[in-house]
Structure 1
């Protein structure tokens, strides 16, 4: 069905995404926030694109920290380590500044996004990923909130390991220069669309390093993949 969208027509891809989000809300799903995709140059190189995108986070995509994920819940999962921001106030400004964002953010959290794709072998263009809700599958939030006045997100360092082996590294500076820069891009983009970020929203600001394949199924009767993310200022 991917041939139905004109090549490079990102606007059409967002229309498809919006229709699917509206369908989810009509079915009773609760919108919990937004995710930014393709914020890391490393991930952009992996997928052959040159710009960020965004998708919707539903509450039923959230997986509690430490909980296994059942085999078959996703098609071809990959893992990204990110910084999540949780808003304590609305961001309705047409041209938000860092000051607006800092005032509106209640705290930051370490996060894992488990991305997925309906396109075989991740052979995707930016149109494919946008239409597919920015390839969002599930997400995990860390349980220790950090106020923004206690951390410089540009210098936050990330190491993602799988079964004890390092599979991705990065820093906040690898995410469009800073997770705050990524969040400002999202806030401005959504205001222009008439869908501003609201208090309580979760923002996944984008990968700090390359995606890592989840090579082993996690669920009853299988050996779990031990995926962990260590971040520090």
Structure 2
């Protein structure tokens, strides 16, 4: 098992800055000024501080998300691998439900394949066969990413510390066993209102969502926090993410999996309270 880095004053400072932004709704400066530049291990340590704070406050982890599955985004942030964050139960939005105004700071929407596990994945050398056997079913998903860092001014250190820029997630309602769909070949379309604003395929996610899931399972097992039966795994975006504004409605359709949709509530009229 890989030893986690010690939690020092800079780790706490970064975690404090991010959790304060989430609590107040006021975005904060990047945290890379208090963490060692390019020290991804320190960024994960800050992420874990706030995850533990959430658990202590009664929140419940229901899965993980994989980020940075796009080669172009990896190049932009100067990394050669994805990242991950924790999904809490209170991040899950029912298919078709409205997201309240003001809940997020700077939301963006992307469409993904979600896997729901029926068995643990405890090994650091997890294989694709083990992921296939452990996956109970797949679902279409919308991930609503968000950044507590002002203006999305992020490096890899900032987004990792910020729980991989997790916001909310929406899952489709019809489970599909993996023997009924080729996840690498699925085609995704994302609508914003009546307009298609993002397209992609399963192969656009690290060559296939199962590849992403293998990476996540192996990485988490290596640090002693493996994926468990019942976990939801958001495997990564199939196309570009799209900025969301109050009143926007989004729907994705992923071939072989179905659809998922959500709407952002309109902003309250000036001088009124929600």
Deviation string, structure 1 residues 5-45 (Cα, Å, up to 9, x no partner): 11101000000001111111111101100000011234446
How many residues align? The count is: 226
Equivalent of residue 142 in structure 2, options 112, 116, 120: 112
Deviation string, structure 1 residues 89-136 (Cα, Å, up to 9, x no partner): 111122111111111000000000000001111110000000000000
Give the 5 Å matches for 1:33-182: 33-44=63-74, 49-182=79-212
Spell out structure 1 runs of 4+ moving beyond 6 A: none
Uncovered stretches (5+) of structure 1, i.e. residues with no partner: 218-223
Task: Give the stretch that moved more between structures: 158-167 or 34-43.
Answer: 34-43
Q: What is the CA distance between 1:142 and its match in structure 2?
A: 0.5
Give the 5 Å matches for 1:209-228: 209-214=239-244, 216-217=245-246, 224-228=247-251
Q: CA RMSD in A?
A: 1.3
Uncovered stretches (5+) of structure 2, i.e. residues with no partner: 1-16, 18-30, 257-274
Residue of structure 2 equivalent to 1:202:
232
Q: 1:46 to 1:140 in 2, by over 3 A?
A: farther
Q: Does the CA-based 8 Å contact 1:43-1:209 persist in structure 2?
A: no
Q: 1:80 to 1:45 in 2, by over 3 A?
A: farther
Q: What is the CA distance between 1:165 and its match in structure 2?
A: 1.0
Larger radius of gyration: 2
* TM-score (norm. length: structure 1): 0.94
Question: Structure 1: how far apart are the matches of 2:243 and 2:81?
Answer: 22
Q: Does the CA-based 8 Å contact 1:49-1:125 persist in structure 2?
A: no
* TM-score (norm. length: structure 2): 0.80
Question: Structure 2: how far apart are the matches of 1:34 and 1:50?
Answer: 20
Task: Give the stretch that moved more between structures: 3-12 or 38-47.
Answer: 38-47
Pairing 1:229–2:252 present: yes
More relative contact order in 1 or in 2 (CA 8 Å, sep 6+)? 1
Q: Does the CA-based 8 Å contact 2:140-2:172 persist in structure 1?
A: yes
Question: Structure 2: how far apart are the matches of 1:203 and 1:187?
Answer: 10
Secondary structure in 2 matching 1:153: coil
Deviation string, structure 1 residues 183-209 (Cα, Å, up to 9, x no partner): 000000000000010000000000001
Task: Give the stretch that moved more between structures: 154-163 or 43-52.
Answer: 43-52
Deviation string, structure 1 residues 134-168 (Cα, Å, up to 9, x no partner): 00000000001110000000001101111111111
Residue of structure 2 equivalent to 1:220:
none
Q: What is the CA distance between 1:48 and its match in structure 2?
A: 6.0
